[in-house]
Amino acid sequence: MSDDPRLAPLAASLPATVPFTGPEALERLRGRPFRARLGANESVFGPSPKAIAAMEAAAREIWKYGDSASHDLRHALAAHHGVAPENIVVGAGIDGLLGSTVRLFLAPGEVAVSSLGSYPTFDFHVSGHGGRAEKVPFRDDREDPEALLGKAEEVGAKLIYLSNPDNPMGSWHSGAEVARMVARVPEGALLILDEAYVEFAPDGTAAEVDVEDPKVLRFRTFSKAHGMAGARVGYALGPRHMIRVFEKVRDHFGMSRTSQSGALAALQDELWLTHVRGEVAAARERIAAIAAENGLGALPSATNFVTVDCGGDGALAKAVLEELAARDIFVRMPFAAPQNRCIRITAGRPEEMDLLATLLPEALAAARARG
């Protein structure tokens, strides 16, 4: 069936694909739920109990629109980061804010640079708004700042995307390295710095850059360490004049009362965040140990997942993923070679790690038997 002729030419030209198929959609196709949901990098340890209580209380007033300015949350975030509220915009997760950013700063036909195989949603927005995506390869399983800067210079890129720590490999650069990259961003370009996983990373991973530096916008989320992926709360930090222009395009009533209340309570619960970091660190160690028991290599991780090298090519890794799914364990894998030799496993509870330890040997043997 052909596309509706009323579609705008740009929309008609786009492929009918999405970056990820959600686990619920996979469960519907399978006809049964997963026993271990270890593929979407959600925090299985959940949100702060204080955040849950705040959202339950806010639900009683869900008949009201949310505060269109996210005033209380923005002011709390400003105090947390030592910046002005005018340096922060709140939106529907990093994904939603990336869409607004591309819409604001990339005209049709202009170029954005990112890493081949990196988190795909940025490029999804670039294509959706008529931009052109240029890619550079990973280097040693890490995004390559030098290559990104070089390609940006070569093609006259308007936007440069870097995730630190990165998804899907879990690798990271020091904050000092990223700050040096910011200083070298070409004139007229803007670095999109995705720090979704930075709460799990070693000290010194977050870049120390002036929030008023016009060369960079930094993005954070409540989806990962704060365990609120379903609430869709993210924010960007940047110069006041750049943050102000988000008012031109953002969905002013897109942030619900429950989401704002939950995020505010989560931000104030440092003890819970410390607890989650400890659980994630233990789970990462367990995944690495399980990998080693099966003769596989676990890559160092600064995130809430571990990328495991299956020791072959993309076909083997895909077979391992499929065999784990057949045994009711949901994981994902990188999209691009050579990183697609790996699978990516989210940090889980002890019982989920036990299930992985039991079933990975079976899945690995079945995958290898496929030839």
CATH code of residue 78: 3.40.640.10
Residue 2: pLDDT band by 50, 70, 90 thresholds?
Answer: low
Q: In this structure, is residue 236 part of a structural domain?
A: yes
Mean pLDDT of all residues belonging to the chain:
96
As a whole number of angstroms, the distance between CA 264 and CA 345 comes to 29
As a whole number of angstroms, the distance between CA 234 and CA 308 comes to 28
Domain that holds residue 162: 51-268
The token pair that represents 218 in the structure block = 């930094």
Residue 166 has pLDDT above 80, yes or no: yes
Q: How many domains does the chain have?
A: 2
Q: In this structure, is residue 314 part of a structural domain?
A: yes
Kindly state whether residues 176 and 41 are assigned to the same domain: no
- Look at residue 3 in the predicted model and tell me its pLDDT: 78
As a whole number of angstroms, the distance between CA 320 and CA 324 comes to 6
- Of 8-17, 175-184, 334-343, which gets the smallest average pLDDT? 8-17
Residue 232's closest CA among 267, 256, 207, 212? 256
Residue identified by tokens 């002890």 is 350
- Look at residue 338 in the predicted model and tell me its pLDDT: 97
- Residue type for position 15: P
- Look at residue 1 in the predicted model and tell me its pLDDT: 45
Q: How many CB atoms lie within 10 A of CB 328?
A: 16
Kindly state whether residues 37 and 162 are assigned to the same domain: no
As a whole number of angstroms, the distance between CA 112 and CA 103 comes to 12
Residue 249 has pLDDT above 50, yes or no: yes
CB 94 within 8 A of CB 122: no
Q: In this structure, is residue 40 part of a structural domain?
A: yes
Q: What is the 3-state secondary structure (H, E, C) of 128-165?
A: HCCCEEEEECCECCECCHHHHHHHHHHHCCCEEEEECC
pLDDT digits (tens, 9 = 90+) for 269-322: 999 999 999 999 999 999 999 999 999 999 999 999 999 999 999 999 999 999
Q: Distances from the Cα of 344 to the Cαs of 117, 165, 194, in angstroms?
A: 13, 14, 19
Kindly state whether residues 322 and 209 are assigned to the same domain: no
Residue 211's closest CA among 241, 246, 177, 234? 241
**More reliable by pLDDT, 348 or 1:** 348
Q: In this structure, is residue 5 part of a structural domain?
A: no
CATH code of residue 350: 3.90.1150.10
Q: In this structure, is residue 348 part of a structural domain?
A: yes
Q: In this structure, is residue 3 part of a structural domain?
A: no
Residue 155: pLDDT band by 50, 70, 90 thresholds?
Answer: very high
Average pLDDT value for residue range 89-107: 97
Kindly state whether residues 221 and 105 are assigned to the same domain: yes
Q: In this structure, is residue 364 part of a structural domain?
A: yes
From 238, 268, 298, give the residue that closes a domain: 268
| DSSP code of residue 216 | E
Q: Are strands 342-346 and 234-237 parallel, antiparallel or unpaired?
A: unpaired
Q: Distances from the Cα of 43 to the Cαs of 49, 187, 211, 224, 291, in angstroms?
A: 14, 38, 28, 6, 21
Kindly state whether residues 24 and 94 are assigned to the same domain: no
CB-based contacts of 278, cutoff 8 Å, min separation 6? none
From 253, 268, 283, give the residue that closes a domain: 268
Kindly state whether residues 61 and 197 are assigned to the same domain: yes
Establish whether the linkage from the previous residue to 338 is cis, with ω within 30° of 0: yes
CB 191 within 8 A of CB 265: no
DSSP 43-57: -TT-S-HHHHHHHHH
Q: In this structure, is residue 4 part of a structural domain?
A: no
Residue identified by tokens 């990820």 is 20
Q: 3-state class of 19 per DSSP?
A: coil
Cα separation of the two ends of the chain: 37
Predicted TM-score (pTM) of the model is 0.96
From 237, 253, 268, give the residue that closes a domain: 268
The token pair that represents 176 in the structure block = 């000092």
Establish whether the linkage from the previous residue to 19 is cis, with ω within 30° of 0: no
Kindly state whether residues 36 and 82 are assigned to the same domain: no
Residue 215 has pLDDT above 80, yes or no: yes
Kindly state whether residues 325 and 253 are assigned to the same domain: no
Kindly state whether residues 38 and 129 are assigned to the same domain: no
Q: Distances from the Cα of 244 to the Cαs of 66, 100, 112, 238, 327, in angstroms?
A: 20, 12, 22, 10, 49
Kindly state whether residues 282 and 201 are assigned to the same domain: no
- Look at residue 21 in the predicted model and tell me its pLDDT: 86
- Look at residue 18 in the predicted model and tell me its pLDDT: 76
As a whole number of angstroms, the distance between CA 301 and CA 350 comes to 19
Kindly state whether residues 363 and 283 are assigned to the same domain: yes
Kindly state whether residues 189 and 334 are assigned to the same domain: no
pLDDT digits (tens, 9 = 90+) for 113-147: 999 999 999 999 999 999 999 999 999 999 999 99
CB 352 within 8 A of CB 38: yes
